Structure 1
C-alpha cells in the first residue's frame, strides 16, 4: 500500500516531514527480544512457582514480565506500520493519545515495580522462611495491582484538556508533550523526570544496602550454603539479579529522564535523534530485564558453574598429562 503525504491531512506537523530516514532494525530487535524474553521468563517463573512459593520478588517480576510483553505487543504494530510505509502513514490524534498513555504508564510501572522488588527484599531480610510464607501471599498481588493503578492514573493526566500529547521523532512513538512544555505539560515533565530519578536512586540505594547486609551477615551465608531450592530472600542469584537490574536501569533509564528534565527546564527544545535514542535505551531496558533473570536464575548459575568447573578440570588434566609425557 502506498501513501501520498501531499494529498493527505495529518494531525501532526512531523508527519509532513519527507526527509526522515531512520532504520527500523534497532526498534525491531528491541521489541523481539522484549517479547520473546518476557514470555520465556514468565514460563520459567510459572514452571518453578512451587519451589519459590511466589514470594514477593517472583510475584512482582511476573507482573513486570507480563506488562512489558503486553506493552510491546500493543505498541509495536503502530511503529512498524510507520516504518513499513516509509514514513508516509502517520499517527492520528486518538492513536497517539492511546499509545502515549500506554507507553508512559508502562514506563512508570516498570520503574515502580523494580523499586518495590528492591524495597521488599531489603525490608524482609530479617524474616525466616516460615514468616516469609505467611507474609507473601495475596499481599504482593495487591501491591502489583496498586502500582499499575497509580502508574496509569498518573499517565492519564496527559489527556486533560490543558495538557497535550506529542508525536515524537521519527513519528513512531508518542509521549506527553515534554518538548518546549508549558503549564500542565511542564508540570508533568518535572513530576515524571523527578519521580523516575527518585525510583532509580532508591532502587540503587536499597540494593547496595541489601547486598552489603547479605555479604556481612554470616547467618545468611550459612543459609545460602545449606539451601538449594529457589525459595527465599537470601538466594544469591536474586541478589545478583537485582544488582544487574540496578546497573542496567541506571545506564538505560537515566539518559531519557535527563532529557525530559532538560526539556522541562527549557535547556533543550529539540524533537530529533537525541530523544529517539534515549527512549530506545528505555525499550532496551525492558528487553534486557527478562534475559538477566533467565541467565542469572539459580539453575542457570549452577549450570554455568558446572560447565566452568568441568572445563577447568579438563584443562588441568590435560596439563598434567603433558607434564607426564615430558617426563
Structure 2
C-alpha cells in the first residue's frame, strides 16, 4: 500500500513539474526574444499550464477517418507511460524500487520509446506523419548508440549500474573527471528528446509538425507530456550521473534546475541543424569519440 502511495505521489510530482517547466520555458523564451511570455492567467501567468491542460483534455477528439484507430489512440498513451515509468529508476530519499541495474533499465525504456513515436506516425495514415516518424526514429536510434556508450565509461569507474553509486564518489562530481563525456551526453540527450537544434521529428517549418500532425486534444497533450517528462528525466539523470546530486536535496534541486535551464537556453539560442548534418554528427563524430573515450577508460582501469 505504501509503495502504491509513493508511486502515485511520484507521478503527481512529475506531472506538476512538467506543468511548471512548460511555463518556465515559455517565460524564459519570451525574455530571450524580448517579450513577456504568458502573464495573464493567474498571478504572473502561473495558472497558464493548468488552463492549457483543461483546454486540451476537454476539446473534442478528432482523428483521420482512415487511420488505424487503436494504434492511433494507444501510441501516445504508450509514450507517456514509458516516460513516467523510467522515473522509477532514479534514486531518491523515498525510493520506490531498489534498482541495481538502473542504467540498463533506463536504456531499455529509451529503446522502447521509438515504438510509440513510430506507431503515432504510421497509424495516422498520413505521408507527412510517416515521414516525420521515420526521421524521428532514425535520429533516436542513431543517438542512442553514442548515449549508451558514453554512459558506460562512468559505470566502469564506479563499477556499478546502480544510479545511487554515482553519489558515492568521495564528493567529486564526475563532470570534473569526464567533462568531455558530459558534453556528449548532453548533446545526445538533446537529440533523444527531439529538442532544438535537433527537433527534426516535429520541425514545423518543413514537416507540418511531423509525426503528431494528425493529433489533437488529449492525444496531442499526451505526446507533449511524454516529451517534456523525458526532458525533465534527462535533466535529472545528468545531475545524478555527472553532478553527484541526490534528488530531493538542495544540491539536487539546484543542479536539476540548472540542467533544465540549459535545455531551454539551447532552444532559444541555436538554429535547427540540417538533417544530414545531424546524422553525420551522430555517426562520424559522437560515435567514434564515444568509442575512443570508452576504450581509454577501460585501458586505464586495466592498467591499474
| TM-score over 0.5 for the pair | no
TM-score, normalization by structure 1: 0.35
Normalised to the residue count of structure 2, the TM-score between the two structures is 0.37
